[in-house]
């Protein structure tokens, strides 16, 4: 593989994507993170550079994959040197951020003579490591075609959605519905526990009826066992529900379930539970737990 890959943002997702591409024969040339210790450790593991300046990541790479936390982080990296001397480079942006951010990044990249593509992820850490992500992409078709060989090594399913911002819109809806389902499941199991029902039995019944969902498979047992090891944090759930609600406001829509769900995740953050997995929302509903002691 002749193209050199740089990473900006090597937390739980970015680091495992970098490991995956290294194993697939790509040259991972540079990794950068605001957590410099994490970047340096990963660089040592992968045998690459860990620059302290964003422009160095771009200089050392042909393709730069960004996996940052939010709108502010995206604005900071693309206004902080990442586009310096970037002519001919390709930026693949995987963070869940507001659609308008992806549109602006594409515009800035084109002005700099480079290309940008959003590749929104609907998967978690295990899939990042295994190369089985579900990726939704937005941008110009020719840019998607250029990025496709790399993205195919990271994904089990790769979908081109449309122009810049459109994949981010779809991702916002995916996470909005996932968050609503998670909150609903926590309430169902919490009420079942309060009624003295066997929760293993209840989860089995849910799985065979209209109460079934992907969240039941991934989070149901964890809610029961209070195992909230973080794959997708409550803080990120709150942030992503907020993106969807902002889109709804722009269309004049009232979304009461999404609003109530965001309030629950905001409460987790304010109660110091924001770094728990999203399944930790059960701590707000089960008797005898965080808010019911």
Residues 112-163: tens digit of each pLDDT: 999 999 999 988 899 999 999 999 999 999 999 999 999 999 999 999 999 9
* Closest of 247, 281, 101 to residue 176, by C-alpha: 247
Q: pLDDT at residue 80 above 90?
A: no
**CA distance linking residue 93 with residue 274, whole number of Å:** 24
* Closest of 225, 231, 271, 239 to residue 168, by C-alpha: 239
| β-sheet with 27-32: strand ranges across | 27-32, 4-8, 63-66, 90-93, 115-121, 133-138, 155-162
Residue span(s) of the chain under CATH 1.10.1040.10 come to 169-284
Measured over the CA atoms of residue 6, residue 11, residue 16 and residue 19, the dihedral's sign is positive
Band (292; pLDDT cuts 50, 70, 90):
low
Q: pLDDT at residue 291 above 80?
A: no
- Class for the domain spanning 4-164: alpha beta
Q: Each residue of 18-56: pLDDT tens digit?
A: 999 999 999 999 999 999 999 999 999 999 999 999 999
**169-284 to CATH, choices 3.90.1150.10, 1.10.3720.10, 3.65.10.10, 1.10.1040.10:** 1.10.1040.10
Q: What's the pLDDT at 293? A: 47
Q: pLDDT at residue 1 above 80?
A: no
Band (258; pLDDT cuts 50, 70, 90):
very high
Q: pLDDT at residue 260 above 80?
A: yes
**CA distance linking residue 107 with residue 98, whole number of Å:** 15
Q: Each residue of 199-225: pLDDT tens digit?
A: 999 999 999 999 999 999 999 999 999
What is the average pLDDT across 156-181? 97
Measured over the CA atoms of residue 285, residue 290, residue 292 and residue 293, the dihedral's sign is positive
Q: What's the pLDDT at 245? A: 98
What is the three-class DSSP state of 165? coil
Residue span(s) of the chain under CATH 3.40.50.720 come to 4-164
Please tell me which residue, 291 or 89, carries the higher pLDDT value: 89
Annotated active-site residue 171? The verdict is: yes
Q: What's the pLDDT at 252? A: 98
As beta bridge partners, residue 66 has 8, 93
Q: Which of 171, 239, 262, 278 is catalytic?
A: 171
């Amino acid at each position: 593989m002749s193209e050199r890959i740089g990473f900006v943002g090597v937390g739980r997702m970015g680091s495992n994507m970098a490991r995956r591409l290294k194993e697939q024969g790509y040259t991972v040339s540079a990794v950068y993170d605001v957590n410099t210790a994490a970047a340096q450790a990963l660089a040592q593991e992968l045998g690459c550079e860990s620059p302290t300046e964003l422009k160095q990541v771009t200089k050392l790479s042909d393709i730069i994959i960004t996996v940052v936390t939010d709108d502010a982080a995206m604005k900071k990296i693309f206004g902080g040197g990442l586009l310096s001397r970037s002519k001919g480079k390709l930026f693949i942006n995987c963070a869940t951020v507001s659609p308008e951010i992806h549109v602006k990044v594409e515009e800035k990249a084109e002005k700099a003579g480079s290309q940008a593509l959003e590749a929104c992820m609907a998967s978690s850490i295990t899939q990042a490591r295994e190369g089985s992500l579900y990726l939704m992409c937005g941008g110009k078709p020719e840019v998607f075609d250029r990025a496709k060989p790399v993205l195919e090594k990271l994904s089990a399913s790769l979908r081109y959605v449309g122009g810049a911002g459109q994949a981010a819109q779809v991702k916002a809806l995916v996470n909005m519905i996932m968050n609503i389902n998670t909150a609903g499941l926590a309430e169902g199991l919490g009420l079942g526990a309060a009624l003295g029902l066997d929760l293993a039995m209840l989860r089995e019944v849910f799985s065979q009826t209209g109460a079934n969902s992907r969240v039941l498979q991934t989070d149901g047992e964890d809610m029961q066992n209070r195992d909230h090891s973080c794959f997708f944090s409550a803080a990120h759930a709150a942030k992503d529900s907020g993106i969807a609600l902002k889109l709804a406001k722009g269309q004049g829509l009232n979304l009461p379930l999404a609003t109530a769900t965001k309030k629950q995740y905001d409460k987790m953050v304010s109660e110091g539970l924001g770094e728990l997995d999203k399944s930790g929302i059960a701590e707000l509903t089960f008797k005898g737990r965080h808010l019911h002691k």
